[in-house]
């Protein structure tokens, strides 16, 4: 796998901020295996922003007009 020189890495604080959730909510998502994929550098978790964007895109539900 080749790394893109422009790939931005997020830490837990950065990811929680991006997702607009608390760190506690992020930890819950990780524990439930519902967070974006991450990797570890030593003890620290890191997320590639491109992976996070794909994770978000996969969860977007397109809603159409509501029938009355």
pLDDT tens, residue by residue, 17-59: 999 999 999 999 999 999 999 999 999 999 999 999 999 999 8
Query: Tell me, what's the pLDDT at 54?
Result: 95
Query: Tell me, what's the pLDDT at 60?
Result: 87
Confidence band (pLDDT; 50, 70, 90) for 64?
low
Residue 15, burial from CB neighbour count under 10 angstroms (0-12, 13-18, 19+): buried
Query: Tell me, what's the pLDDT at 21?
Result: 97
Could you tell me the two tokens for 55? Answer: 């994770």
């Amino acid at each position: 796998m080749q790394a893109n020189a422009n790939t931005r890495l997020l830490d837990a604080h950065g990811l929680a901020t991006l997702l607009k959730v608390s760190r506690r909510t992020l930890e819950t998502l990780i524990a439930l295996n519902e967070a974006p994929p991450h990797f570890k550098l030593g003890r620290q978790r890191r997320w590639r922003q491109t992976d996070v964007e794909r994770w978000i895109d996969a969860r977007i539900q397109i809603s159409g007009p509501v029938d009355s």
